[in-house]
Amino acid sequence: MTGESGTRIALIYPELLGTYGDGGNAIVLAQRLRWRGLPVEVVEIPAGESVPGSCDIYLLGGGEDEPQVLAAEGLRKNNAIAWAVTEGAVVLAVCAGYQVIGTSFPAGDGKIHDGLGLVDVETRRSFDSSEQPLPPRAVGDIVVEPAPELRLPVLLGYENHAGRTRRLPDGQGMPLGLVRKGIGNGTPDQTDGIVDRHVIGTYLHGPVLAQNPALADLLLSWVHGPLPALVGPVETEVLRRTRMRALEVSA
Amino acid sequence: MDMHRGIGNRRGEPWHADEAMTTPFPRRFSARTRAALAVEKLASSASRRLGRGSGEMIGGKLALQVSPQILTEVAAGRLAACVSGTNGKTTTTRLLARALGTLGPVKSNSGGANMAPGVLAALSRPPYDATAALEVDEIWLPKVARAIHPRAVLLLNISRDQLDRSNETRRIASLWRELGAELPDATAVANVDDPLVVWAASGWSNQIWVSVGQNWTADAMVCPQCANLLHRNPTGWWCSCGLARPEPIVAVTGPSEILWFGRLITASIDLPGRVNLGNAAMAAATARLFGVEVEDALAAMTGLGDVQGRYQEVPLGANGVHGRLLLAKNPAGWVEMMELLNTTPARPVIIDFNSQTADGRDPSWIWDVPFERLAGRTVLVTGGRKEDMSVRLAYAEVPHTVHPDAETAAATVHETIVDVVANYTAFRDILGRVAPMRTTT
Ligand SMILES: [Zn+2]
């Protein structure tokens, strides 16, 4: 998939889906390619412009309610990302972006909007019976034990969302992992996120790839195959050790 | 907290219960409010005597419980202005208080306690007809302004700050807009470069539109009125629904120039940077409503060299290194600080970064700050989340060193002055260590 210009990373609608620092995921991916001597191009797709189908990696971040609805409307106008995914493209969608790539999600007023349907999940404020009070907003540090198939170390991040997200019955894909600390999907199976083909949805901010470089390299290997080894940056190792100590999480 | 000489700082004065209980309060106050004022005075002087900070919060909280109407009563019969916004409210309040001080005594919560108890503390001592320049928290603004009926409300800006506390910028704009409908006699002094502020102020009966320039636009890409995408060009912004940048009557047009009601005037204050000239323009436009000439307002603002320790140079550690203290608590604030860091020669920069509750627990916003611009400088990192900042700088390819605290970091530099950029609690802590007994003027 990688053309002469190198790996193309699309940062989707950063002005709508960039409220929680998730644009950092593009910085991390690009640097981890550059540091390996591999060419890379980050393509910012401003809201209102059509999304090209020719990118290797699509990044969607968190956003507030109205921008999220606007982003979903914009992305539904052409199905470039869905087409690219069938061609093997990688998608990392965080928080509001995760909700948008599912089949449906609620806006601030409770109205249900259509998502892109890239993955078989749906989001609501609650899946409990209507007599139950709505669950509180999920805000705080989150730690996820990734699905063993992914061969990743423990995932660290920060979550800040009101929605609860569940897989559709008989849906494709598997959860990204089990929640060790925090809320994540907020469903009884205590999972966070979804992985289906090369699409990952998750509630982890941080940005998630800054705190979890192994996940960044997994996405890059989906584009490139096996990657040249990259040591460091040593700062990330220090950060992960510090956070795991602070959160009382063992590796 | 008192601007009025002669009343002054009570710290260190002997304290007598009978004095507090017998101080006569104006007879127009209800018995309940007079009792509440006595309680406030008692509590805050006791709290000061015991060394628990300024005592404003505890006294104010108790008084509000004793007399819920107390804010309305102590504000009645005086001119007041409220200053609110995400960034710059403490500085702008100080500038406004100095400008209004040219007319007579001014009361102000210059200590930064900006919720109802802090506002009450500023208004709870005589003279009860002194003009008030009040900093008010964004969320608290409606409650406070409804009680005190200000003549003017400065609406500075709305951007992301402490997202895990109050996560909707539009919600704040909406609260402000509804407030305007309830205050038909008040004037909104509003920043035309922030679409959220313009939409909020458009709901008011009267506006004075001020352009302060805005380097940070990422929080206002969506129209607050109709939720469509805003259009932007270098001179403004607009939406297909009709909401657009109003033509300002006051505008910062250069590093020391302001467009002022149709004429260009030279303006400079001692606080550095375009951001502070913008704050001064907002304050001067407000002071004009109270009858202060712009020349007098600017003259009064000049001479303010620091605000709650911001911009002041303090000794840092034992090696004779001085640090200029700068506050940056969100992406918009950091982008403003980048401009101030552009000194020649470039100073070393110490970044002191925390994520305590008052800072916002989520440190990921640092990825929205263009730290790449610090390349080529000596950068030193410290604070409770120094490891997160260190990773950010690594990816920005900014070489840096990591230290246990700012003083230790300063001991490693060879220059005599460094810039220290800290976020909220980091700033508070460093100020507490290097200048614990500083009094404000
Ligand atoms: Zn509009």
Strand order in the sheet with A164-167: A112-114, A104-106, A121-124, A164-167
Q: What is the pLDDT of residue B112?
A: 77
Mean pLDDT over A29-37 rounds to: 97
Asked if A95 is an active-site residue, the reply is yes
Cβ atoms of residues A85 and A103 within 8 Å: no
pLDDT for residue A1 is more than 50: no
In angstroms, rounded to a whole number, what is the distance separating the alpha carbons of residues B282 and B299?
15
A67 and B222 within 8 Å at the Cβ level: the answer is yes
Length of chain B as a residue count? 441
B364 CB neighbours in chain A (<8 A) are 20-22, 24, 158, 205-207, 210
DSSP assignment, residue A233? -
Q: Which residues from chain A sit within 8 angstroms of residue B365, using beta carbons? A: 20-21
Query: Which pLDDT score, from 0 to 100, does residue B9 have?
Result: 36
DSSP B313: E
* Interface touch B364/A67, C-beta < 8 Å: no
Does the pLDDT value for residue B59 go beyond 90? Answer: no
Confidence (pLDDT) at A39:
97
Interval B119-147 mean pLDDT:
94
Residue B242 Cα to ligand 1 middle (Å): 6
pLDDT band at B198 (very low <50, low <70, confident <90, very high): very high
* Yes or no, beta carbons of A20 and B365 under 8 Å apart: yes
Query: Which of A68, A235, A237 to mutate to test binding with chain B, by most B CBs within 10 Å of its CB?
Result: A235
Question: How far is residue B131's CA from residue B78's CA, in Å, rounded to a whole number?
Answer: 6
Closest B-chain CA to A14: B218
**How far is it, in rounded angstroms, from Cα A43 to Cα A48?**
14
- Return the pLDDT at B222: 83
> What's the predicted TM-score (pTM) here?
0.86
Predicted local confidence at residue B235, as pLDDT: 83
For chain A, give percent helix, strand, coil, nearest 5: 25, 25, 45
Q: Which residues of A touch B394 (CB under 8 A)?
A: 232-233, 235-236
Q: Say if the Cβ atoms of A16 and B168 lie within 8 Å.
A: no
Query: Quick one: how far is CA B323 from the chain centroid?
Result: 21
List chain A residues with CB under 8 Å of B387: 235, 238-239, 242-243
Q: Kindly indicate the confidence band of residue A159, based on its pLDDT and cuts at 50, 70 and 90.
A: very high
Could you confirm whether A55 is annotated as catalytic?
no
B163 and A233: CB-CB below 8 Å?
A: no
Q: Calculate what percentage of chain B has a pLDDT beyond 90.
A: 65
Give the per-residue pLDDT at B6.
34
Pair of tokens at residue A50? 């059509």
Tell me the chain B residues in contact with residue A139 when contact means C-beta distances shorter than 8 Å: 164, 361
Reduced to 3 states (helix: H, G, I; strand: E, B; else coil), residue B189 is: strand
Instruction: Please name the residue of chain B whose CA is at the shortest distance from the CA of residue A64.
Output: B168
pLDDT, residue A108, reads: 82
> Taking CB atoms and an 8 Å cutoff, what residues of chain B touch A211?
391
In this predicted structure, what is the pLDDT of residue B428?
A: 93
Who among B229, B391, B397 is closest to A239 (CB)? B391
| Cis bond before residue B127 (omega within 30° of 0) | yes
d(CA B424, CA B420): 13
With H, G, I as helix, E, B as strand and everything else as coil, classify residue B380. Answer: strand
Nearest CB neighbour to B367, from listed A15, A21, A67: A21
Mean pLDDT on B385-412: 97
Residue of A nearest to B360 (CA): A140
Greatest alpha-carbon span in chain A: 57
Q: B14-55: per-residue pLDDT in tens?
A: 334 444 444 578 888 998 999 888 888 888 777 766 665 556
pLDDT over 70 percentage in chain A: 98
Count CB-CB contacts under 10 A for residue B128. Answer: 19
- The beta-carbon neighbor of A210 closest among B227, B365, B391 is B391
Amino acid at position B144, single letter: V
Lowest mean pLDDT segment, chosen from A4-18, B39-53, B109-123, B375-389: B39-53
Residue contact B362–A24, C-beta within 8 A: no
Residue-wise pLDDT tens digits, A174-201: 999 999 999 999 999 999 999 999 999 9
Residue B5: pLDDT band (50, 70, 90) is: very low
Q: What is the mean pLDDT of residues B281-292?
A: 98
State yes or no: pLDDT of B8 exceeds 50. no
Q: Distance from CA of residue B105 to its chain's centroid? A: 21
Instruction: With a cut of 80, say whether residue B213 has pLDDT above it.
Output: no
Residue A20: pLDDT band by 50, 70, 90 thresholds? confident
Q: Which residues of B touch A67 (CB under 8 A)?
A: 221-222
Model pLDDT for residues B224-274, shown as the tens digit of each residue: 898 888 898 888 899 999 999 999 999 999 989 999 999 999 999 999 988
Output the CA B226–ligand 1 centroid distance in Å: 4
Q: Three-class SS of residue B143?
A: helix
Chain A: residue whose CA lies nearest to B224: A66
| Span from the CA of B282 to the centroid of ligand 1 (angstroms) | 26
pLDDT: which is higher, B148 or B6? B148
Average pLDDT estimate for B90-94: 96
Q: What is the C-alpha R_g of chain A?
A: 17
Pick B362's closest partner by Cβ from A158, A210, A232.
A158
Nearest-CA distance from A171 to chain B in Å? 32
Question: Residue A4's pLDDT band (boundaries 50, 70, 90)?
Answer: low
A interface toward B at CB cutoff 8 Å?
14-16, 18-24, 27-28, 31, 47-48, 64-67, 69-70, 108, 137, 139-141, 158, 160, 205-207, 210-211, 232-233, 235-236, 238-239, 242-243
Using alpha carbons only, give the angle B231, B234, B235 rounded to the nearest 5 degrees. Answer: 90
pLDDT digits (tens, 9 = 90+) for A100-136: 999 999 998 889 999 999 999 999 999 998 888 999 9
Residues pairing with A93 in the sheet: A60, A201
The mean pLDDT of chain A is 94
B436, pLDDT greater than 70: no
Lowest-pLDDT choice from B242-256, B279-293, B336-350: B336-350
> What's the pLDDT at B167?
52
pLDDT, average across residues B146-168: 80
